[in-house]
Amino acid sequence: MIIQKEETLNEYMQQLAKKAAFSIGYPFATDFNYEEIYSLFRFPLFNLGDPYMEGNYGVNSFKMEREVIDFFADLFRAPKNNYSGYITSGGSESNLYGLYMARELYPDGILYYSSESHYSVPKAARLLNITAVEVCSGKNGEIDYDDLLHMMKQNRHLPAIIVANIGTTMKEAKDDIPKIKSILQELLIESHYIHCDAALSGAYLPLLEKDAAFDFANGVDSIACSGHKFIGSPIPCGIVVVKKNNKDHVSEYIPYIESVDSTITGTRNGLSSVFLWYAIRHFGRDGLLKRAEESLYLAEYTHQKLLENNINSHRNDMAITVTFEKPSDSLCHKWQLATNSECSHMICMPGISKEKIDSFIAELVNEKKYNDAVLQS
């Protein structure tokens, strides 16, 4: 019997709805609505080449892509006449691009990244054939500055390429750019490049802080940020902002498309640029700030609720991620909790309600009571 496509899609949609109702462990905003632009699915919307140079293919979203880059360049206080970037497929590609810039500038540079860095960082080092050194991290997930000093001291004669985490994957810890800069100054390492992996925190921290210490004004060279996380998108996407003069090192004119090839993938999906442009226009800076404040409130609420119920929990300053002792595999699976060997976390993204948080904590508390009773019997 051949199952009709309508029936298959129906079942699939029902399964997705059920899973989405219990998704709290991954940093994906769910409060978006892009119905107004669904008609774009009729077009082969592809962005070929550099977004700042129109080529011979016109069915693109370069105008929106440029506006999104401009918005984030302003958010990250990039130099007014010396920034560029593009909309990537996600944080991994954004990190790869930032490190590609660094490798081209310093082919003999040593990459330093912490043990809490995203797995895309050492992978990018392998792809780019960059010598890499893993640095220890502290209990809260922040890089260990003493170990960073020790590691860089051994290679002080070589350029330093540093990946600073602005919101680590598990604990949303932020590395301190001024401290990293002071280490470079102490070791007299003039040739250096700092790339910030701000996949989650980058989209909302600059809205909350007048001086976001991880931005271009504080001496960084490139910043990666996810679009599908705090802002929200049905398609994974990212934003990478770099200095234009550095981008020029990797740009090559391609006659075939009458444009410059300055990106990792060349042809890119144009829908992501429209989604992000639409969300930024819809929410505005004030609306995004309100969402950030609501997420921070929910994170603090979650953290306190867990502590009140005698569940070990931790939350870094200005983080919307809350870590806690790892529950059973069945609970981790049901609520789709990202987990390592010692703990799990939930991320209070826009779209997660207090009711959903309460429901999860109630199940977590009941499981803990049951386990404690079994141990005592």
Average pLDDT over residues 145-165: 98
Model confidence at 2, pLDDT cuts 50, 70, 90, reads low
Model confidence at 141, pLDDT cuts 50, 70, 90, reads very high
pLDDT tens, position by position, 48-73: 999 999 999 999 999 999 999 999 99
Cβ atoms within 10 Å of 74's Cβ, excluding its own: 14
Average pLDDT over residues 274-295: 97
pLDDT tens, position by position, 171-186: 999 999 999 999 999 9
Is the pLDDT at 377 greater than 80? The verdict is: no
Model confidence at 1, pLDDT cuts 50, 70, 90, reads very low
Which one, of 65, 46, 100, lies nearest residue 267 by Cα?
46
Model confidence at 3, pLDDT cuts 50, 70, 90, reads low
Cβ atoms within 10 Å of 38's Cβ, excluding its own: 8
Binning the chain into helix, strand and coil, the percentages to the nearest 5 are 45, 20, 35
Structure tokens at 184: 């470079």
Cβ atoms 2, 325 nearer than 8 A: no
Average pLDDT over residues 349-356: 96
- Our CA angle for 261, 266, 271, nearest 5°, is 125
How far is CA 10 from its chain centroid? 32
What is the Cα–Cα distance from 215 to 98, expressed in whole angstroms? 14
Average pLDDT over residues 100-124: 97
Which one, of 264, 236, 274, lies nearest residue 50 by Cα?
264
Question: Residue 187 has what pLDDT?
Answer: 98
Average pLDDT over residues 285-301: 97
Average pLDDT over residues 137-156: 97
pLDDT tens, position by position, 94-107: 999 999 999 999 99
What values do phi and psi take at 243, rounded to 5? Answer: -80, 135
Structural domains in the chain?
5-33+285-376 (3.90.1150.10), 35-280 (3.40.640.10)
**Given its phi and psi angles, is residue 284 left (phi above 0), alpha (psi -120 to 50 degrees) or beta?**
left
Model confidence at 376, pLDDT cuts 50, 70, 90, reads confident
pLDDT tens, position by position, 294-345: 999 999 999 999 999 999 999 999 999 999 999 999 999 999 999 987 899 9
What is the Cα–Cα distance from 71 to 87, expressed in whole angstroms? 12
